[in-house]
Structure 1
């Protein structure tokens, strides 16, 4: 692996007192480096310790296993990329505009090489670690669905749309707008990018979704 070619410049060992939080962040940064470039099996604790410039003993004072680190890395990775979508000001636009910006923001986030690489790693380990795969799926899904639910609730409050089951509608919205392009990129059928074609497809799918939510 390429990370083994670079020798750490400082001596490995116990970190100085007061730097424990910084060391944990360094381990997570190293995990990002290695897990996005290699498969889960190909990465060893030695690889991570070398990339983080720490000893294996220091690693195990913070994470019980490679699997625990992978989950912590993945949760942080997802959290950082969902935050910009969560910050969309839904109250300053129509429901249609807000749903468009949410879907476009999510697709821009997930249709990039790093996110696709993470998804491929999770899929590859899903059989051996189903609980890990399920928890990461639920974490990402719940955060995205919560954004859509807030938007739909606001649209209903304004009288712009009618939705009887907001939770179901939010889940359906994510499936219709996001899951297809993301899945095709993950299995290599399409490039991991939010192209003009994907944007046009999003707008058509959004029009179809909204047509089923118009007040009657």
Structure 2
């Protein structure tokens, strides 16, 4: 009996001794949290240091993780950079997925979409990440294409849903470009018309606060032009 008691006590002691320094992969329920923490830390470090200046050591420190944990998920720094940028783009677009157009007229409903799109796009972090991705385009020839593809494909899907909510059945007759068969192309035109001019200005160094102050007038002007084209069949 004494031997059994001694062995049990020894096992408990070893268990306690191992607990603080537990190593290996985290449980499945924590794996997603660990990866998200790594990607968020990577984005912050890459934005602060640039690709060349960023190190896996610093990313691991910011993520409160270990280098082996990072390398178990990402082959190298290039793979981590690509994953961090892609995750951020997808998260940005997800902000629009639950948005519903507001307003009593089609002009107001379209304007509400345009405003939220620009508010999400014109942030210092988003613009800085776009600049960094553009600067590293030669090093990552596939990154730009994949990010643009994600932005275009998912952005078009989200915008198609929003535009479908904007146009009531009676209004589709007045604005044929908002009909189901033409909605995909119309959604892409709307995104380009509203988003691209202001994002390009931000990328070129114009003050983001100034661009935010112009969102209202810019959106109203573009919506009026957009609806005129939709009414006259000039889109799609």
Name the TM-score class by shorter chain. 0.7 to 0.9
1:151 to 140, 154, 162: 162
Kindly indicate whether residue 117 of structure 2 is the aligned counterpart of residue 103 of structure 1: no
Counterparts of 1:181 and 1:77, CA distance in 2: 20
Counterparts of 1:184 and 1:26, CA distance in 2: 32
Give structure 2 stretches of 5+ with no counterpart: 1-19
Counterparts of 1:92 and 1:98, CA distance in 2: 5
Q: Which has the higher helix share?
A: 2
User: Relative to 1, partners in 2 of residues 1:153 and 1:59: Cα closer, same or farther, differing over 3 Å?
Assistant: same
Kindly indicate whether residue 36 of structure 2 is the aligned counterpart of residue 22 of structure 1: no
Report the counterpart of residue 54 of structure 1 in structure 2: 65
Q: Give 1:103 deviation, angstroms.
A: 1.4
Kindly indicate whether residue 203 of structure 2 is the aligned counterpart of residue 191 of structure 1: no
Deviations 1:132-152 (A, max 9, x none): 111111112222222222233
Give the match's secondary structure for 1:60. helix
The alignment's TM-score, normalised by the length of structure 1, stands at 0.82
Kindly indicate whether residue 91 of structure 2 is the aligned counterpart of residue 80 of structure 1: yes
Kindly indicate whether residue 222 of structure 2 is the aligned counterpart of residue 211 of structure 1: no
Kindly indicate whether residue 184 of structure 2 is the aligned counterpart of residue 170 of structure 1: no
2:123 to 112, 115, 136: 112
Counterparts of 2:38 and 2:80, CA distance in 1: 9
Q: Give 1:198 deviation, angstroms.
A: 3.1
Q: Give 1:15 deviation, angstroms.
A: 5.2
Bigger CA radius of gyration: 2
Q: Provide the alpha-carbon RMSD of the alignment.
A: 2.6
Q: Give 1:91 deviation, angstroms.
A: 8.6
Report the counterpart of residue 3 of structure 1 in structure 2: none
Counterparts of 2:132 and 2:64, CA distance in 1: 24
Counterparts of 1:41 and 1:13, CA distance in 2: 32
Report the counterpart of residue 153 of structure 2 in structure 1: 142
User: Relative to 1, partners in 2 of residues 1:14 and 1:183: Cα closer, same or farther, differing over 3 Å?
Assistant: farther
Matched-pair contact (CA < 8 Å) for 1:36–1:117: yes
Kindly indicate whether residue 136 of structure 2 is the aligned counterpart of residue 125 of structure 1: yes
Q: Give 1:124 deviation, angstroms.
A: 0.7
User: Relative to 1, partners in 2 of residues 1:212 and 1:62: Cα closer, same or farther, differing over 3 Å?
Assistant: same
Give the match's secondary structure for 1:64. coil
Give the match's secondary structure for 2:208. coil
Give structure 1 stretches of 5+ with no counterpart: 1-10
